[in-house]
Amino acid sequence: MMDYVLRRLGMSLLVLFGSLVLVFFIVQVLPGDIAQMLLGETISTEKADELRAHLGLDRPLAEQFWSYLKQVLQGELGRSYVNQESVLHKLLTNLPATIELTLFASAIAITLGILLGVTAAICRDSWIDSIIRFISLFGICTPNFWIGLLLILIFSVHLNWFPSIGNGGLRHLILPSVGLGITGAGMLARLVRNSMLEVVHKPFVRTLRAKGIGEGRIIFRHMLRNAIIPAVTMAGMMIGEMLAGSVVTETVFARQGIGKVIVDAIGAKDMPMIQGAVLLTAVFYVSISLLVDIAYMMIDPRIRRMMRAAGR
């Protein structure tokens, strides 16, 4: 098991390095001149060149990347071009709001997805199954920003149940979490339904029924345990995607978080802030993926047996 974890950790570090390289060079080709954005369109050529030299933008790209890589390895993400604020401090200040949104959205997606998937499998080919499949398809196919606007229109403008914008308590968190989590709920519902239907005709299920074990116990203790294994991988990927997808949701609901920081930084071509935000998001995504792989191994005993056999 430890060998597997170390291999996955090494692969994760390679993915992070690749993300760092990719975002560094992508940011370099963004349209617009950072000097003119910071000092104005009427700035003289001499002043613009002086600012570029001060920021180190006049050096070759390879040299700039090497300097940035050394900064990152030392735990420093640089300073914002716009206000000279520490990038790491800015990101850590806004990170709790984004994590809070992602966790609430993930809880909604996982809970709703599993409940809908199990219900659809139990009521297969009934009108309940048809409704759940329609809801799942709607959640998967509808863009998050449109769902967010629809939630604001219904629950904020017409019903006045929840606030539509800003950070705050639980009431401010409900609509953004639903808007962000409904796509994941739809995907999980379809996956759990299909997995449950694959398990329902397995020999062990017939054996349990022959022994007189209650249907509820068979469904939730035995069938769901086997059907949930593929959903674990999707849930991990979904959480990482929600963290990245918070850019759209935080913009629609005017919430301050990592997503809003990225949008503002792109608008100002604040390269250190963009690079730091994307790198931080990649760290979380890769970490979640690693934890999911470990959890997958712990849940499925067949994988553990295969690893033990490989170890021999």
Q: If you average pLDDT over residues 13-18, what whole number do you get?
A: 82
Q: Is the pTM of this model over 0.85?
A: no
Count CA atoms within 13 Å of residue 108 on its CB side: 21
**Cβ atoms 264, 216 nearer than 8 A:** no
pLDDT at 96: 85
CATH of region 95-311: 1.10.3720.10
Q: In this model, does residue 310 exceed pLDDT 60?
A: no
Burial class (CB in 10 A: 0-12, 13-18, 19+), 239: buried
Of 271 and 40, the structure prediction assigns the larger pLDDT to: 271
Q: Of 139, 133, 102, 92, give the one whose Cα is nearest residue 279.
A: 92
Contact 33, 48 (CB under 8 A): yes
Q: Which has the higher per-residue pLDDT, 258 or 203? A: 258
d(CA 199, CA 225): 10
Examine the pLDDT at 309 and tell me if it is beyond 60: no
Asked whether residue 311 carries a pLDDT value surpassing 60, the answer given is no
pLDDT classification of 209: cutoffs 50, 70, 90: low
> Average pLDDT, stretch 239-252?
76
Q: Is the pLDDT of residue 179 over 60?
A: yes
Confidence of residue 306 (pLDDT cuts 50, 70, 90): low
C-alpha dist (Å) from residue 123 to 5, 99, 119, 140, 196: 40, 35, 6, 21, 11
Q: What pLDDT score was predicted for residue 91?
A: 84
Which of 72 and 302 is assigned the larger pLDDT? 72
How big is the CA angle at 110 (ends 104 and 116), to the nearest 5 degrees? 130
Q: Alpha-carbon distance 204 to 223, whole Å?
A: 9
Q: According to the model, what pLDDT value does residue 299 have? A: 62
Cα 231 to Cα 254: distance, rounded to the nearest angstrom: 31
Across the chain, what does the average pLDDT equal?
A: 76
Rg (CA), the chain: 24
In this predicted structure, the answer to whether residue 312 has a pLDDT above a threshold of 50 is no
- Higher per-residue pLDDT: 56 or 193: 193
CA angle (275, 279, 285) in 5-degree steps: 150
Q: Does residue 35 carry a pLDDT above 70?
A: no
Q: How do residues 49-107 score in pLDDT, each as one tens digit?
A: 676 676 666 677 777 788 878 878 877 777 777 777 788 888 888 888 888 888 888 88
Residue 228, token pair as written in the block: 């949930």
What ranges do the domains of the chain cover?
15-73, 95-311
